[in-house]
Structure 1
Amino acid sequence: MTINYRCKKCRSLLFTENEIQPHEPNSNEVSFGYRRRGGGGDCNSVFLKDKLVWMGPCDQNNGKIECPKCHYEVGTYTWSGNQCSCGKWISPAFQIATSKIDKEKPFTFPQHN
C-alpha cells in the first residue's frame, strides 16, 4: 500500500511516496552551511524525483510550487539544486515543505483471532 501526500489546506492529492527522491544525509558536511551540518533527525522537506504535470511549466530557474486546486504554496523548485536541512545537495530540486502537506498512511484493518 502506498503513502499519499496531500495539500494541508484543501486535502488534494499531490503525490505518492513513489515520486519522492530518497536521500541520505551528506557525509561531506564541510562544504555546507554551519546550520545544516550534522543536523541528524528528520528532513524538513521532501524532494520529488521529477517535475509533476500539475506543477505547470517550471520554465524559470526557480519558482514556487502551488497546489493545483487551492494555489496554496507547498514548496519551491530550483533547476540548479538546493540543499536539504540534513545537508544533502539535491539537483534539480523540487522541494516540498513537510509543514505544508499531510502524510496519509494506508489504513490497515485490525486482525481478529
Structure 2
Amino acid sequence: MKFLCDINALQNDSVVCAIGFSKNAKQYIVISQGKRIFVYRNRCPHLNKTLNPQDQQLLDLHNNFIFCANHSALFTIDQGLCIKGPCTGQYLQKVASKVVGQQLLIDS
C-alpha cells in the first residue's frame, strides 16, 4: 500500500484530490463523511476522462453525490454508482484503502 494523504487534511463532507507528479500517475478522489472514507479513481466510466477536468467541484451543490463536470453525471458517494447521466448503472473504480495512524494508504 502507498501513502495518499494525511487524514487530518480531510474535512467532513469534503473532497481532496491527491494528484501524482509522475507521467504515469493516477488521480484519486477522497471523500470523508463522518468516520467513513471513500476513495475512487478520478475517471468517469463514460469516456474515461477526469470528473473535474478544470478543477471544478467534485460534489453536487448539496454534497450528496459525486458530480462529473463533463456531462453532469451523478454518482453515489458510498458505492460510486452512476444514477444520472450517460453512464447510468456504471460505477466509478473504487480503490482499496485503509487508515494507519494518521495516514490514508491505498493499493497501488
TM range (shorter): under 0.3
TM-score for both structures, normalised by structure 2: 0.25
Higher relative contact order (CA 8 A, sep 6+): 1
TM normalised by structure 1 equals 0.24
> Which structure shows the bigger proportion of residues in strand conformation?
2
When Rg is computed on C-alpha atoms for both structures, the one with the higher figure is 1
